Amino acid sequence: MIRVLFVCLGNICRSPTAEAVFRHQLQTQRLAHLIECDSAGTSGYHSGDAPDRRAAQAAGARGYDMSALRARQVSDDDFERFDLLLAMDYNNLAELRSRADATLQHKLKLFLEFGDGEEQEVPDPYYGGREGFDHVLNLVENASIGLLQHLRGRLES
């Protein structure tokens, strides 16, 4: 089993979007029994909250279900439990790096490293309009395809 954790600041917009999109891809490709995913935030501001309604609406319009997701904060155990911890931006990557043991740093990456676009960070759509949430979905869908290809390679080796 390969385990992937998507990480943003509050775990109500970007990382639950990534979790929902990637989980949908795993189910569609019949890989959910081999690859597990979850999401969390580097802060605990929204712990226990459902995803932002705008994120859930944008995801729902594309067929992704976020209704069962609830925000949580990254725990110390996550660094051991997950094989990849994928940050949405440099600030959250830096926070993960500051918390992870030196022997676990190799697990920490930017999520968009798996995409084929020029952007390196998934921008936070929280203070913007609908177009920001659609842009996040575009980036997440693209990077999810690359991530899935990468993980398939790991499963086959």
Side-chain-facing half-sphere of 48: CA atoms under 13 Å: 0
CA–CA dist 105, 85 (Å, integer): 10
Query: Which residues are annotated as catalytic?
Result: 8, 14, 124
CA dihedral 93, 97, 98, 101 (to 10 degrees): 160
The token duo for 102 is 């030196």
| Token digits of residue 121 | 């960070």
Closest-CA residue to 76 (of 98, 52, 47): 98
